[in-house]
Structure 1
């Protein structure tokens, strides 16, 4: 049995935050901590309650959620941050990903998807809305243009490179397992090792790094 995932919701919209907390609390594998309405409370609860995942709004009254994200990442780099906010603009997603968010959701999404993204984040996965994922990746790549060539670490095994190519191809864990003839647990282990070797926090970052190094969907060989 995996230990429950501790979740901290940071949102100054009390009715929305409490409703989301109540809904996520019904998930047997999630433990929802007291809601934080601002950055000060979020950092205090993160220090004392040790959440695995923070669900963060980008608009916290006069306070920027991105600034809270920066402080969380600086003080608690192992905590995974999923943005849940009102906008789905590509610029907002790119800024959040660049500052360490591993997932991005809009508030119109259902709680079932929020729960799935939280679980994925806790397991070093990530989530970007599929309809803007291509635009987000292109922006990340364009923003990195001119910074010099990127190379993948020499220590990647052939199997890890195969898994990385599958991620670039947009496959999920079950699809990677089917393509490579592996179990889903083995794929998970390879993915975790891959993220560690690439020194990234999410699958999205791994894909971005791989594409900067020249990997493209459909590549073989």
Structure 2
């Protein structure tokens, strides 16, 4: 498979260089030049075309949210994973609303960072499990379609895609969805990619949030 191109955006040079060196030892990752500010980050996103951007939320006097805005507007195919010292739920929700598909604190291991990068590149994501429920609740409570809009927004999905989406809302991973629905993992991946595209969402988390805003809730089974 083609290696995953990774752009690190962090103004702490020692940390960023150490992370780049560690990730560079992974055979499936290619680490691009490091960006320390918003301007450099957006310039490298345009010229280097990373698959995943690893972003600190604080870039000196600048905010990582400005990078998120710029990337979402000009390169929506780039997957953004936040790697930060912050543990603020409000900041996490803001970042996800603006397009981030993962959130990690800098206390996480490099192995975990590499794992989340791979997940993001495969159109997945990662939020700390201990706060996932609260993050989803806050996202679902934000302005959206409301229960009455379910038929319109989710109506573009096939019955099987809706089943896969329901499994995602239930918190199931790909292998678990395959087992529940009697499908292969590859078929589940195809359905997931299709429903993400139809809903104009960029991650499983974003699709789950949209589904919950439209009234879909975890099932009892």
Normalising to structure 1: TM-score of the pair? 0.94
State whether structure 2 residue 175 is matched by structure 1 residue 171.
Answer: no
CA distance in 2, matches of 1:146, 1:43: 32
> Bigger shift: 6-15 or 174-183?
174-183
**Residue of structure 2 equivalent to 1:191:** 192
Matched residue, 1:141: 140
- Deviation, 1:153, is 3.1
Query: Is the CA contact 1:126–1:203 (under 8 Å) kept in the aligned structure 2?
Result: yes
Which segments of 5 or more consecutive residues in structure 2 lack a partner in the other structure? none
The 1:54–1:145 alpha-carbon spacing in structure 2 relative to 1, beyond 3 Å, is closer
**Which whole-Å CA distance do the structure 2 matches of 1:47 and 1:192 have between them?**
24
Tell whether the 8 Å contact from 2:178 to 2:185 is kept in structure 1 after alignment.
Answer: yes
Please list, as runs of the form range in 1=range in 2, the aligned pairs for 1:39-78 lying within 5 A after superposition: 39-78=38-77
1:115-171 CA distances to partner (integer Å, 9 max, x unpaired)?
Answer: 111111111111111111111111112222686833233231111111101100001
Q: Which moved more, 1:34-43 or 1:3-12?
A: 34-43
Residue pair 2:52, 2:121 contacting (<8 A) in 1 also: yes
Root-mean-square deviation (CA), in Å?
1.5
* C-alpha displacement of 1:97: 0.6
In structure 1, distance between residues paired with 2:183 and 2:25: 33
Q: Indicate conservation of the 8 Å contact 1:102/1:126, yes or no.
A: yes
The CA distance in 1 between the partners of 2:145 and 2:216, in whole Å, is 17
Structure 1 CA distance for aligned equivalents of residues 199 and 220 of structure 2: 19
The 3 A distance-change label for structure 1 pair 217 and 153 is: closer
Q: Is the contact made by 1:88 and 1:106 (CA closer than 8 Å) also made in structure 2?
A: yes
Aligned length: 219
- Aligned twin of 1:93: 92
